[in-house]
């Protein structure tokens, strides 16, 4: 910007007109190899010294190289750049190219944002836990990786108002939930095989139940269990739910073994079942 205010033309110090490749490289900041490469690929072909065969760069090449660097900065490939290097003005088609670049970059940025979020949440968990099982962490990360996809899938089978309560919304909620899940899985590993009478097992289930309630809320939980309870009255709906579960399983691997899952299902019905039946009875 400033430069424009100066009018350095006054000095008129006609600088050295030509550069050797290393001088040119230094003054432009690109590597010698890159200049070789651009020459080889017919993107920037400087004159040659007839006798020595050395490349001789001039001011004009400087301008060309600036073009190249600029278009690279916009995210274009050298092939695209080569195509645009011919013409001397940018016209409307260049706008389209820019627009295309724009949407590409926006997509990239979204991916990066998701990954960053996942990383930050993971770092937080690791800092508190010191050591975490592979499977559990992978499961969580996979879950973060496609939170959006999961929500969209869920939209197909769950009503909007329930949806809003179903997924942890704030960053804090998410962290609490994930933290809770981690400790829960640890305890699953630890107590696996014990009976539903065991107090530690009961404590584990209580804590887990409370965690879910904390995030989801009682009424939403009711609705959820209604949806997923196998009251098979609606064939079509059941198929949709089945497909949904399949897809989620593909996206998010289970952090525990099938045996552990089975055991968990067993003790849950053993322990919680009576409670739920009681509540049902109240209606």
Partner DNA sequence: CATATCACCTCACGTTACGTCAGGCGCAAG
Partner DNA sequence: CTTGCGCCTGACGTAACGTGAGGTGATATG
| Under rule CB under 8 A, residue 5 binds a copy of itself | yes
At its nearest, how many Å lie between a copy of itself and the CB of residue 50?
27
**Contacts of residue 67, Cβ cutoff 8 Å, sequence gap at least 6:** 81, 85
Which C-beta is closer to DNA: that of 36 or that of 155?
Answer: 36
How far is Cα 62 from Cα 24, in angstroms, rounded to an integer? 8
At its nearest, how many Å lie between a copy of itself and the CB of residue 18?
15
Residue of 34, 16, 15 lying closest to 25 (CA atoms): 34
How far is Cα 145 from Cα 136, in angstroms, rounded to an integer? 14
| Under rule CB under 8 A, residue 193 binds a copy of itself | no
Return the range that interacts with a copy of itself (CB under 8 A); candidates 4-12, 43-51, 198-206, 273-281: 4-12
| Under rule CB under 8 A, residue 74 binds a copy of itself | yes
Long-range contact pairs involving 117-125 (C-beta distance under 8 Å, separation at least 24): 117/144, 118/144, 118/145, 121/174, 121/175, 121/178, 124/175, 125/175, 125/178, 125/179, 125/182
Where in 139-158 is the site for a copy of itself (CB under 8 A)? 139, 141-143, 145, 150, 154
With CB cut-offs between 5 and 8 Å by kind, which of DNA, a copy of itself, none does residue 52 bind? DNA
Where in 202-261 is the site for a copy of itself (CB under 8 A)? 212, 224-225, 228, 245, 248-250, 252-254, 258, 260-261
Using the rule CB under 8 A, which residue among 109, 164, 190, 240 binds a copy of itself? 109
Q: List the x/- string, 34-53, binding to a copy of itself by CB under 8 A.
A: --------------------
Give the footprint of DNA on this chain (CB under 7 A): 20-23, 31-34, 36-37, 51-55, 72, 77-79
Q: How far is CA 38 from the centre of its chain?
A: 34
Two tokens, residue 263: 């055991």
With CB cut-offs between 5 and 8 Å by kind, which of a copy of itself, DNA, none does residue 51 bind? DNA
With CB cut-offs between 5 and 8 Å by kind, which of a copy of itself, DNA, none does residue 4 bind? a copy of itself
How many C-alpha atoms does 56 have within 13 Å on its Cβ side? 10
Q: List the x/- string, 79-108, binding to a copy of itself by CB under 8 A.
A: --------xxxxxx-xx--xx-xx--xx-x
> Is residue 263 classed exposed, middle or buried when 0-12, 13-18 and 19+ CB atoms within 10 A define those classes?
buried
Long-range contact pairs involving 16-24 (C-beta distance under 8 Å, separation at least 24): 17/58, 17/59, 18/56, 18/57, 18/58, 19/56, 19/57, 19/58, 20/54, 20/55, 20/56, 20/57, 21/46, 21/54, 21/55, 21/57, 23/57, 24/57, 24/61, 24/62
Which C-beta is closer to a copy of itself: that of 108 or that of 219?
Answer: 108
With CB cut-offs between 5 and 8 Å by kind, which of a copy of itself, DNA, none does residue 54 bind? DNA
With CB cut-offs between 5 and 8 Å by kind, which of a copy of itself, DNA, none does residue 78 bind? DNA
| Under rule CB under 8 A, residue 1 binds a copy of itself | yes
| Under rule CB under 8 A, residue 113 binds a copy of itself | yes
How far is Cα 179 from Cα 129, in angstroms, rounded to an integer? 9
With CB cut-offs between 5 and 8 Å by kind, which of DNA, a copy of itself, none does residue 231 bind? none
């Amino acid at each position: 910007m400033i430069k424009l205010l100066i009018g350095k033309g006054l000095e008129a110090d006609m600088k050295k007109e030509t550069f050797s490749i290393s001088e040119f490289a230094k003054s432009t900041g690109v590597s010698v190899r890159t200049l070789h490469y651009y020459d080889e690929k017919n993107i920037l072909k400087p004159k040659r010294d007839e006798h020595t065969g050395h490349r001789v760069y001039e001011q004009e090449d400087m301008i060309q190289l600036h073009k190249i660097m600029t278009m690279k900065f916009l995210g274009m490939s050298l092939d695209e750049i080569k195509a645009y290097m011919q013409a001397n003005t940018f016209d409307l088609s260049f706008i389209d190219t820019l627009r295309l670049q724009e949407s590409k970059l926006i997509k990239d940025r979204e991916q990066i944002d998701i990954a960053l979020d996942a990383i930050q949440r993971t770092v937080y968990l690791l800092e508190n836990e010191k050591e975490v099982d592979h499977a559990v962490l992978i499961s969580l990360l996979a879950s973060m990786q496609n939170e959006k996809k999961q929500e969209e899938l869920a939209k197909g089978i769950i009503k909007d108002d329930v949806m809003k309560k179903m997924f942890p919304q704030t960053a804090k909620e998410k962290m609490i939930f994930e933290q809770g899940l981690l400790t829960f899985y640890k305890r699953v590993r630890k107590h696996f095989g014990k009976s539903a009478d065991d107090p530690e097992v009961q404590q584990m289930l209580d804590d887990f139940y409370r965690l879910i309630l904390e995030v989801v809320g009682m009424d939403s939980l009711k609705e959820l269990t209604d949806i997923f309870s196998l009251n098979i009255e609606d064939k079509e709906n059941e198929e949709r739910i089945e497909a949904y579960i399949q897809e989620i399983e593909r996206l998010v691997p289970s952090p525990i073994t099938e045996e552990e899952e089975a055991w968990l299902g067993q003790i849950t019905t053993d322990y919680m079942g009576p409670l739920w039946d009681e509540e049902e009875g109240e209606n």
